[in-house]
Structure 1
Amino acid sequence: MRRSPWATLAVLALAQFIVVLDVTIVNVALPDIQADLNFSADSLPWVINAYTLLFGGLLLLGGRMADLLGPRRVFVAGLLLFGVTSLVAGFANSPEFLIGARAVQGLGGALLSPAALAILTVTFAHGRERNIAMGVWGGLAGLGGTLGVVAGGLLVDSLSWQWVFFVNVPIAIALVAVIPVFVRDTRHGAQGDRAFDTAGAVLGTSGLLAIVYGVVRSEPKGWGSGEVVGILTAGVALLIAFVLVERRSKAPLVPLRLFRSRALSVSSGSLALNGAGFLSMFFLTAIYLQQVRGDSALEAGVHFLPMGGAAIVGAVLASQLVQTLGTRTVQLGGTVLSFIGLLWLSQADATGSYATELLPGLIIFGFGILGVGVPGQITAVSEVQHHEAGAASGVVNAMYQVGGALGLAVVTTLSITRTTDALAAGVPQQQALVDGFQRGLLVASGFAVANMLLTLASPQLQPDAEQIAEATAAA
């Protein structure tokens, strides 16, 4: 049966849309989740981190499974897992229950997303049609992030926080039903010569989870406590074991030889710092808007919209400017804008005007975040062989997610410490929350400064339109 490639694209893009949507839609529901399930301040970030770490940590394994088992089969499995765990998350009645559901939901996303991209690349021939398809794919994924904050606000205010998870269920059911009709099954040829790198996936993800958990536990326990030192040491040991396994594996999850490329190594670090700044800003500002300024969930979502619009425009501008100014110049400009935006936001207090204290910072940051992301993705794959471009894109995408989780852990820990110290000193609660928000944003702005310095080591490239389309769509 002949299937329309554009119908296939619609199914794939909608699936990717809900995966991206789930990163932002939950943020505006966090205050309600915290109040309803009695989350502590230091455990609340795990609602985001559990999803992000499992998604980023297992993304490459999901891509390998798609190669071995067939992308459509893995796509369906990931979509089913994502839908079921969305339903489970909506019925969560304790912090541990919700965090566990979010972790497995991240695994579903890690299976679904690379499999969908693999189907897309075999559905459209190399050239103009694939570039158009990749543009639609990337655009809808970006739109999911922007619409997530408003959709989340609407669902929380009109129904309840549970519906930010329930909304995924009918979409997942509908997509699974139409996949046999619109998505053809494909198999790769030399599957027998390849193997899963399950050990690498378990060691890498466990090591990252341990380090994030150690950072979070440092707030109540102190950095010098035996518990924190033990957890962080275990995390480092697991990551060292991960590197050793990857070096000896015949089919490594992360081909370490890719990091011989200066462009890939620098871009991976830059995108990790970019993710750290973005997730930290989003988490802290969502809490601040509702708990300090008294926004409803919908009002908070609407207040984020200008940033989403700026990011979309920033992506278009960055894609054009890299052809004339070069990747390093645009990326450096993006880090400067990110820094200015975060610094501006860090000055906001409890009573100032949204139009003067928040709006400019959100717009500037929105431009900056894609000013880093677009040239970073292009640079990352510039020095690798064409047959390894997919692996390189997977590495930098995973680094963005993992960097976001690690950055959020650091920022929220320091923010909570500042709030706790202020409360202990007799500062009123609202002002203590402002103090914590401001410190957190200042730490996040430090990520942007580190990114400026790292970007100086990036090569200067002037790609053509086709290279831009392929590199950015695989992000």
Structure 2
Amino acid sequence: MVNSQTYASRWLLPVLLTVQFLVSLDMSVVNVALPDIGSGLGFGTESLTWVVNAYALAFGGLLMLGGRLADVVGRRRVLAGGFALFGLASLAGGLAQAPGELVAARAAQGAGAAALAPVALTLITVTYPAGAARSRALGLWGAAGALGGAVGVLAGGLLTDWAGWRAVMLVNVPVVALALPLARLAVPAEDRRPGARPRLDLSGALLVTAGTTLLVLGLVRTETHGWAAWQTAGVLAAAAVLLAAFAVVETRVSQPLLRLGLLTRGPVLAANVFALLMSAGQFAAFYFTSLYLQEVLSYGPTATGCAFLPFCAGVVVGTAVSARAIGRVGAGALLVVGGLLGAVGIAWFAPAVAVDGGFLLSVLGPSAVASVGIGVCFVPLGTAATAGVAPEETGMASGLLNTSRQVGGAVGLGVLVTVAGAHDGAGGAQGLVDGYAAAYWVSAALLVVAALAAGALHGRRTEGALLLGRDGALPAQTPSSENSSKESRERVDPDVSRSTYG
């Protein structure tokens, strides 16, 4: 276990927040630059989507592997390697001269992000002591992610208008050049006892990477091919087979990539179900709001980005509130409250968007409510996802949470684009608005289901719930009849024992 008082430096949290900001930024920064990228490199209409999809596929497919690598080879090595790959890929993308070169660079960026994202959450969990310090760090971590997504839209417009599309790739290079040496300085080398280093489950890594990649691929292509097309059904069926095989393999290896027993912990299960459903609703709502501003209200790229800045402010407010409240009300209650408040805000969009609408009436009010609700959820999500998890498995738990969020976003976008298209009966601007409104209603419903599921699952008297009561005290334990390796895997992180998981 990393001793936070010995090793934590003033540079550690800024480095981890930079990770979260960059990962979120690069999921959205290229979107408004796509027309210029297409004309500049000669992309076809359909192939242009791979500038976005290549990043999403590599990121979503490799998150579980990235999280486990941090446990196996060391967090500082994975963080440094992820930064290096991300920076080199950004440079290669900015210098690309052909469509294939840019798509390959975006895939490499996604692979780097898949190493960075889980290790950032892991380091927060094992470095900052449970209580106010960890809650504050998790709050800032969540705010950095939301800020990165919104700033990505704004920065993409500004950079494309002022410096050309290549700037949206090259902007990462100086950030990484500064963050990489700071990461090596701030993150301690881990002290491992002889023979204690875990092994990488290669068969599980191959299966989950292939399965998750195919799942995300099938979902992101539904807008082009539809759900009934063989291209969609075949890919999703293959993904289901591979992921089922992964689940079987993980029950039979001694050191799995994902120990399925983690999901018997009420807080961990609640966090992942909530993240899956919340991301499905939140990402799609973000997408349709961007379309509404540009396609109906005729906002330009820069103005669209500016319109999302109040959302960033709301997320900061929500995370600050939850960081202060989690010790009193617990993670489960905050997930319920935040999810329901977010649902109210997203539902408000449905009647607010109109052909003759404007920013103040159609966007600002709903954004303010939804963003505060979503912001409230970030601290309890990070807290619950690693509740009672042993230090050597925190990367595993972090990779699982990030995978749930990424897959949830892909599922939500695929489903809700179909919903919007099915309700676009009037045609023209009114048809677009009708479709967006239908998608907002479904998005809000997903957040309601997420809140209810979190309330039901978080308090379950499973292994995790029994180990961690409301006051965080560890109950007396009786000797287990299971073998010592099992006991080692199930041991609770001592720093977690003083936290509160409601």
Query: TM-score category by the smaller chain?
Result: 0.7 to 0.9
Find 1:357's aligned residue among 351, 356, 362.
Answer: 362
1:70-81 pair list within 5 angstroms: 70-81=74-85
Is the contact between residue 27 and residue 283 of structure 1 (CA under 8 Å) also seen in structure 2?
Answer: no
Change in CA separation of 1:469 and 1:114 when aligned onto 2, cut-off 3 Å:
farther
Q: Displacement of 1:296 after TM fit?
A: 1.8
Q: Displacement of 1:81 after TM fit?
A: 1.1
Find 1:154's aligned residue among 148, 151, 158.
Answer: 158
| Counterparts of 1:240 and 1:317, CA distance in 2 | 40
Tell me, yes or no, if structure 1 residue 451 matches structure 2 residue 450. yes
Q: Displacement of 1:96 after TM fit?
A: 6.1
Amino acid at match of 1:208: T
Q: Displacement of 1:456 after TM fit?
A: 3.5
TM-score by length of 2: 0.78
| Counterparts of 1:70 and 1:379, CA distance in 2 | 23
Find 1:378's aligned residue among 365, 377, 383.
Answer: 383
Q: Displacement of 1:382 after TM fit?
A: 3.5
Q: List alignment gaps of at least 5 residues for structure 2.
A: 1-5, 460-468, 473-494
RMSD across aligned C-alpha pairs, in angstroms?
3.7
| Counterparts of 1:267 and 1:394, CA distance in 2 | 13
Q: List alignment gaps of at least 5 residues for structure 1.
A: none
| Counterparts of 1:145 and 1:219, CA distance in 2 | 22
Find 1:307's aligned residue among 289, 293, 311.
Answer: 311
Q: Deviations over 1:76-120 (max 9, x none)?
A: 221121112223333557776544433321110122334456666
Change in CA separation of 1:274 and 1:471 when aligned onto 2, cut-off 3 Å:
farther
| Counterparts of 1:216 and 1:63, CA distance in 2 | 23
Q: Displacement of 1:362 after TM fit?
A: 0.9
Q: Displacement of 1:274 after TM fit?
A: 1.0
Q: Displacement of 1:34 after TM fit?
A: 6.5
Q: Which SS does the other structure have where 2:367 is aligned? A: helix
In structure 2, what is the equivalent of residue 404 of structure 1? 409
Q: Name the stretch that deviates more: 150-159 or 396-405.
A: 150-159
Change in CA separation of 1:136 and 1:314 when aligned onto 2, cut-off 3 Å:
closer
Identical-pair percentage: 36
| Counterparts of 1:123 and 1:383, CA distance in 2 | 15
| Counterparts of 1:176 and 1:330, CA distance in 2 | 35
Q: Name the stretch that deviates more: 142-151 or 88-97.
A: 88-97
Q: Displacement of 1:192 after TM fit?
A: 6.8
Change in CA separation of 1:114 and 1:188 when aligned onto 2, cut-off 3 Å:
farther
Q: Which SS does the other structure have where 1:358 is aligned? A: helix
Q: Which SS does the other structure have where 2:65 is aligned? A: helix
Find 1:287's aligned residue among 288, 291, 294.
Answer: 291
Q: Displacement of 1:26 after TM fit?
A: 3.6
In structure 1, what is the equivalent of residue 61 of structure 2? 57
In structure 2, what is the equivalent of residue 368 of structure 1? 373
Is the contact between residue 274 and residue 372 of structure 1 (CA under 8 Å) also seen in structure 2?
Answer: no
Q: Displacement of 1:381 after TM fit?
A: 3.5
Q: Deviations over 1:195-241 (max 9, x none)?
A: 22233233223223323433455555454444333222211111111
Change in CA separation of 1:360 and 1:467 when aligned onto 2, cut-off 3 Å:
farther
Change in CA separation of 1:269 and 1:156 when aligned onto 2, cut-off 3 Å:
same
Amino acid at match of 2:246: F
Tell me, yes or no, if structure 1 residue 165 matches structure 2 residue 151. no
Tell me, yes or no, if structure 1 residue 14 matches structure 2 residue 13. no
| Counterparts of 1:78 and 1:344, CA distance in 2 | 39
Amino acid at match of 1:194: P
Change in CA separation of 1:272 and 1:50 when aligned onto 2, cut-off 3 Å:
farther
Is the contact between residue 60 and residue 114 of structure 2 (CA under 8 Å) also seen in structure 1?
Answer: yes
1:21-40 pair list within 5 angstroms: 21-29=25-33, 40=45
Q: Deviations over 1:252-286 (max 9, x none)?
A: 11110111223322321111111112221222222
1:72-221 pair list within 5 angstroms: 72-91=76-95, 98-116=102-120, 140-141=144-145, 143-176=147-180, 185-186=189-190, 188-190=192-194, 193-219=197-223, 221=225
Q: Name the stretch that deviates more: 202-211 or 92-101.
A: 92-101
In structure 2, what is the equivalent of residue 441 of structure 1? 440
In structure 1, what is the equivalent of residue 244 of structure 2? 240
Is the contact between residue 279 and residue 405 of structure 2 (CA under 8 Å) also seen in structure 1?
Answer: yes
Q: Which SS does the other structure have where 2:341 is aligned? A: helix
Change in CA separation of 1:456 and 1:390 when aligned onto 2, cut-off 3 Å:
same
Q: Which SS does the other structure have where 1:5 is aligned? A: coil
Amino acid at match of 1:281: A
Q: Deviations over 1:105-156 (max 9, x none)?
A: 1110122334456666777788887777666656555543454343333212
Amino acid at match of 1:437: Y
| Counterparts of 2:15 and 2:59, CA distance in 1 | 20
Q: Displacement of 1:52 after TM fit?
A: 3.9
